[in-house]
Structure 1
């Protein structure tokens, strides 16, 4: 009998231990999930009220003082349209590199696109160029192992951003979404395109519709600085010297500003910047975004702009969107904007992936940022602001050209949505708000 009691006691203690361990494991998993799904606090919670326009010197002075990188003069920008041209321009720059290449990308995979970049970066490293590739772990999960090995064996320093590790689990959802490349510290690229075969035409199917930009001039130093900051965080290595930061002479006349945003309290800079620019708009706001799902206060800023007489046009993907749940959740919120006069268009021929914003033909911002909570509060993003009327008009023209292949979404269409799409939007808004 005493022996039976000891066995029972040990059994009971064993189950208590298992139960405690199970609770501890569930607590850890729950904490990780909660940390990933709960957005960081917004720093800008009050409405922005501006009594001057973007042509007033106070606008540029405020952004120049508020954002970490200053506005720098003497820059030049070249527009590149479509995946084939974007990849060709970047590959040509890689082939001509002499000193360094810094390469940061969200999605990186594919038999054609990623293979070409892997080969080009590897060949650059083999001829003595210092090559650093920062690939987002989630965005590069489908990458062929042979492409990664090809780069590493050639001497490319490859880091998979936020690769799973126990000490990084609470930050696993914090991705780098930037599309940033700097060659020899003197030529910079950014825009909407990742590096996958989706941006290339396939038989009769067009590739994703996108826009990219090539920069020269002093702003490239700040683009490089944005990469170096993340590389330091990822590797503990500081990149410095002439190979990365050469003396940059003026190459044009455009004032520009590099802007980076991070998933940390007080560093949701692009959301703040966009809300400020929208509040200063007097005439027109033109936006294109692959994913349009911002928070209610951002939507209210657009509604207020439309109600004070500003023409607000937003171009988003149609049925071809690759993440349909984002579209359903977004559409559920559109009615107040549509009733206020905001014009929302859906691009038809292919997945629309460009991220462009231009206001009052005086200011434009181009880069990796979508108009959604993930870009604003969870991802690392990078944009370049251009303070120039001619370029701001040019960006508006790019969106207007794409509007020719888009359909206006009306209030009537919103009201006629079938119940299953409304339900899908409601479910998506709960489950996918922080996708």
Structure 2
């Protein structure tokens, strides 16, 4: 039970970091728009349609259908392109698109996609797919090695886009029914926000010194397929704060009632962790959902667990997803703001990696994602404060061992 502080104490806690004043009620759509535009300097666009896709069973058919339907251009950027039948199906669809005259540009992260089948790459090159590698691994360029593109973007004909957490690999196939089928969420986007997604692709593509081959594609600025307001944020490797870090802290400063954070990797820096605790201290209900025993990086799970005690002491609810690896990235604030895209709530996303995040102001979408979140909680285990304080000494020692390396997670 979160202790409700007196109003003057809650206001003091708010003033310890920036909270935007606006003529709109706190927690309202208007206030969130003012707060995020003020902090990030990027305007929202109206008339967008955002459709959530859960797990590979929904995600991959929608993406492949968009590729098969493209007539002018395809821009595809991913961190993970591994193996399996789905990797083959994507390569074949991209080759067919190039064969019918579509300009196909594919950008792969040279670290995340390093195990991709060389046979598939040769087939794509022969078919006319322009494949480039983001920041090839070359010694001694340490900066390039540790600062990757974690963006996941597909844009077809400049009018339909996809972003979220999914990678192109067998692990994402299926419907999260077993440890072999990961839980993830991706989003299909139409409307003016697609322009922002395409710009996020272009900024990484141009770093390879390759020109954009199809600058004449009509941008969807006049389209209004939906009613959602959307803001596209591009995070980039930096020394200090990135826009993703600013976004996370702006949300904590301005959330009024409730905050949901669902993330595959939870490794905040000390400042962001303390801001979360202070947000809970002023009466905001916070729920955190992270992977359980099924995880692809055990060291990241240990690093996340080392942050649990102060969060639990502050009244934050923590849940671990049980059935399989939980790979979704989602923030929901006050049942009106949804933050979706590639960033995790970790230091890599806030400081080291290229990310893309879509902030959506739409109550209907937020309520739908909350319903999905409740379903995920029903398959999760809640961590209690009393039980966590009794965890074994060996576990505490492991948390101490990984502590110096959190900046790389």
| TM, length-normalised to structure 1 | 0.85
Aligned counterpart, 1:47: 17
Matched, 1:339 2:313: yes
Aligned counterpart, 2:371: 397
Contact 1:287–1:399 under 8 Å retained in 2 = no
RMSD value, Cα: 2.0
The separation in 1 between residues aligned to 2:266 and 2:179, in whole angstroms, is: 24
| Partner SS state of residue 136, structure 2 | coil
| Partner SS state of residue 344, structure 1 | strand
Matched, 1:225 2:199: yes
2:157 is aligned, of 184, 202, 211, to 184
The separation in 1 between residues aligned to 2:77 and 2:222, in whole angstroms, is: 22
Matched, 1:367 2:367: no
- Give the count of matched residue pairs: 390
Contact 1:263–1:378 under 8 Å retained in 2 = yes
| Residue 205 of structure 1: how far off its partner (Å) | 4.5
The separation in 1 between residues aligned to 2:389 and 2:180, in whole angstroms, is: 31
Contact 2:302–2:398 under 8 Å retained in 1 = yes
Aligned counterpart, 1:286: 260
Contact 2:192–2:220 under 8 Å retained in 1 = no
Aligned counterpart, 2:58: 85
Contact 1:325–1:432 under 8 Å retained in 2 = no
Aligned counterpart, 2:11: none
The separation in 2 between residues aligned to 1:434 and 1:247, in whole angstroms, is: 38
The separation in 2 between residues aligned to 1:171 and 1:204, in whole angstroms, is: 36
The separation in 1 between residues aligned to 2:106 and 2:69, in whole angstroms, is: 17
Matched, 1:307 2:281: yes
Q: Structure 1 residues 150, 203: CA separation in 2 closer, same or farther (over 3 Å shift)?
A: farther
The separation in 2 between residues aligned to 1:341 and 1:115, in whole angstroms, is: 46
Contact 1:54–1:60 under 8 Å retained in 2 = no
The separation in 2 between residues aligned to 1:279 and 1:323, in whole angstroms, is: 30
After superposition, the C-alpha distances for 1:112-152 in whole angstroms (9 at most, x for unaligned) are 12111111111111111111111111111111111111111
Matched, 1:175 2:148: yes
Unaligned runs of 5+ in 2: 1-15
The separation in 2 between residues aligned to 1:64 and 1:203, in whole angstroms, is: 40
The separation in 2 between residues aligned to 1:118 and 1:267, in whole angstroms, is: 37
Matched, 1:160 2:160: no
Q: Structure 1 residues 154, 56: CA separation in 2 closer, same or farther (over 3 Å shift)?
A: closer
Matched, 1:134 2:126: no
Aligned counterpart, 1:73: 46
Aligned counterpart, 1:382: 356
The separation in 2 between residues aligned to 1:215 and 1:367, in whole angstroms, is: 11
| Residue 50 of structure 1: how far off its partner (Å) | 4.8
Matched, 1:412 2:400: no
After superposition, the C-alpha distances for 1:390-432 in whole angstroms (9 at most, x for unaligned) are 2222222221110000011112222222222222211122235
Q: Structure 1 residues 122, 267: CA separation in 2 closer, same or farther (over 3 Å shift)?
A: farther
| Partner SS state of residue 146, structure 2 | coil
Contact 2:73–2:157 under 8 Å retained in 1 = yes
Greater displacement, 190-199 / 228-237: 228-237
The separation in 2 between residues aligned to 1:429 and 1:380, in whole angstroms, is: 24
The separation in 2 between residues aligned to 1:80 and 1:234, in whole angstroms, is: 31
Contact 2:76–2:154 under 8 Å retained in 1 = yes
The separation in 1 between residues aligned to 2:238 and 2:178, in whole angstroms, is: 43
Greater displacement, 200-209 / 320-329: 200-209
Aligned counterpart, 2:10: none
| Residue 70 of structure 1: how far off its partner (Å) | 2.2
Aligned counterpart, 1:110: 83
| TM, length-normalised to structure 2 | 0.90
Contact 1:228–1:239 under 8 Å retained in 2 = no
Q: Structure 1 residues 68, 107: CA separation in 2 closer, same or farther (over 3 Å shift)?
A: farther
| Partner SS state of residue 292, structure 1 | coil
